[in-house]
Chain A
């Protein structure tokens, strides 16, 4: 029972991380109609920048606080130099160009930070465990991830639903040309939204660093999961991304934590532990296929 609870919390934590990544992706898609494969690169760059700043300042919080605006700047520069030229282009052009950006960023990071992975230690003030229920303890860092993830999700929901920027974002998602015609500085809005997406990706990257590692290509595999999430949730829908991220997080953890035991009853232990992660990944894709057959534009997507 305790094990179940802890694994469910792990699923929530993973889901929140993926939501951060998927939120930026679904925003840029919903508003700018942009397929951005390089979103995972911003996740990686956020983590590497955090490593540099944390090593430099010798403080996790300070380093993280410096890394976020730095990732924002990288995102805005990327938008102004390359991405801006891709709006309104064919999706194929966008796929090709942002694929090129992934190759560029992977080798750039390898050149700047070297081929070996980096690790960020769990900050000292979060290296203990917390009692979430009497007798059930949970690592404080993971608990902090859940809290921060939920706070950011709430912040994003508030930003989109209650602020002027959010109003422009929603208006941009439903009719770009109209808000441009109404005199909104749409170029600035797009740069801001792209930068915002970069910050969320960078935040996900730096928060995940202490529990996994900072390495080249770290964003590529999780990016595909983020794509799956926004496809399940419906492209452009923040709510959809949140729901889908939670579901995918639970499936992934379920596959890692419970499937090996389940499979061991009819497979050898070695093949059970090898097959379980594969099966949990497959389950996620089967879920996506099922959702798309049922609703071709995702759970909360706009109907054509």
Chain B
């Protein structure tokens, strides 16, 4: 086994026992950070599929947080709390949205694609803030999905393990997909769309399917976010969240299977450590941590395109 896969597996093993560790050291807050890392990793893995393998810079991925989350939230508000019903509906809604947005935005290229995906995400954002019956701008408190007799999502450790298991499933599925014929066509189209078309591949259809699959996993992350806080609001799909997801994917390494996981860990670790660190330097500076984080992103964009994954790879020689 290659050493870089070893690192990823070690990391996954560590994440698998995280609830035991946080309990042993009585660090409950760390578990909630861990939960966020795992959920965002799922979304970032799905974004990596279209952005990394497909080369399509989608700036609207947070919309799936909202669609997955609001599907759960609205059903819950209407008295349907059965997870077996909620989750498939939420996934179907996400995939439907992905198909619609994909069909329209894949007609465009480059910057137009970036902006049209951003605009469609804003559209969902405004739709959600207009839903006065479901909280409007303020959002909606919901009760968590119920899987009677099987799982109790209110238990923090159980919920974490569920998210972790889903992350493993996502990684497995996307890993298989990336190495399949489908993934190869997708990467081929990123490298040279014209050539793939000339070879007879319907590039548009391949990309559309990739968008729909990515939408499903993005929606899954949305379902989990809604269940984590028992709360949905338009803020969960603000365009800044879409930017954060791109940051995570690039930070981890574009087009590397475990990249989004590394990226999410580094992203949240930076967020959690920069604040106390700056406060340590000078009291009150922690509030302005993005003054440091912003230029860091600029430096990453300019000098570290391969992200964490390429750092690990380089060390292997």
Contact = CB atoms under 8 A, between A and B. Distances in A.
Contacts, number: 144
A86 B297 CA distance: 13
A227 interface: yes
Interface stretch (B2-10, B195-203, B299-307): B299-307
Nearest to B105: A292
B111 interface: yes
A235 B114 CA distance: 13
A99 B245 CA distance: 12
B82 to A, nearest CB: 28
B116 interface: yes
Contacts of B108: 292, 296-297
Contacts of B298: 82, 97, 100-101, 104
Contacts of A235: 111-112
Contact of A277 (B59, B130, B133, B291): B130
A231 B119 contact: yes
A275 interface: yes
A111 B288 contact: yes
A278 B246 contact: no
A107 B291 contact: yes
A289 B124 CA distance: 14
Contact of A278 (B112, B114, B127): B127
B107 A293 contact: yes
B61 to A, nearest CB: 13
B122 to A, nearest CB: 6
B114 A91 contact: yes
B247 interface: yes
B120 A96 contact: no
Interface of B: 51, 57, 59, 104-105, 107-112, 114-116, 118-120, 122-123, 126-127, 129-130, 132-133, 136, 239-240, 243, 246-247, 250, 254, 287-291, 293-298, 300-302, 305
A295 B282 CA distance: 54
Interface string A284-295: 011011001100
A228 B246 contact: no
19 contacts: A91-B114, A92-B51, A95-B246, A96-B250, A96-B300, A100-B294, A100-B297, A100-B298, A104-B293, A108-B288, A111-B291, A220-B240, A231-B112, A278-B126, A282-B127, A286-B123, A289-B119, A292-B112, A298-B112
B187 to A, nearest CB: 16
Contacts of A270: 132
Interface residues of A, number: 52
Contacts of B51: 92
A172 to B, nearest CB: 17
A292 B107 contact: yes
Contact of A228 (B57, B59, B114, B115): B115
A138 interface: no
Nearest to B129: A278
Interface string A212-229: 000000001000100110
B107 A224 contact: no
Contacts of B104: 289, 292-293
A91 B116 contact: no
B111 A35 contact: yes
Could you say which of A95, A96, A102, A282 has the most chain B C-beta atoms within 10 Å of its C-beta? A96
Interface string A192-208: 00000000000000000
Given A95-B59, A100-B300, A228-B119, 8 more contacts: A97-B297, A100-B293, A104-B293, A278-B130, A285-B120, A292-B104, A292-B108, A292-B116
A33 to B, nearest CB: 8
B119 A35 contact: no
B313 to A, nearest CB: 19
B122 A107 contact: no
A89 B111 CA distance: 13
A107 to B, nearest CB: 4
A81 B288 CA distance: 21
A108 B288 CA distance: 7
Contacts of A95: 57, 59, 114, 243, 246
B130 A274 contact: yes
B114 A297 contact: no
A297 B110 CA distance: 10
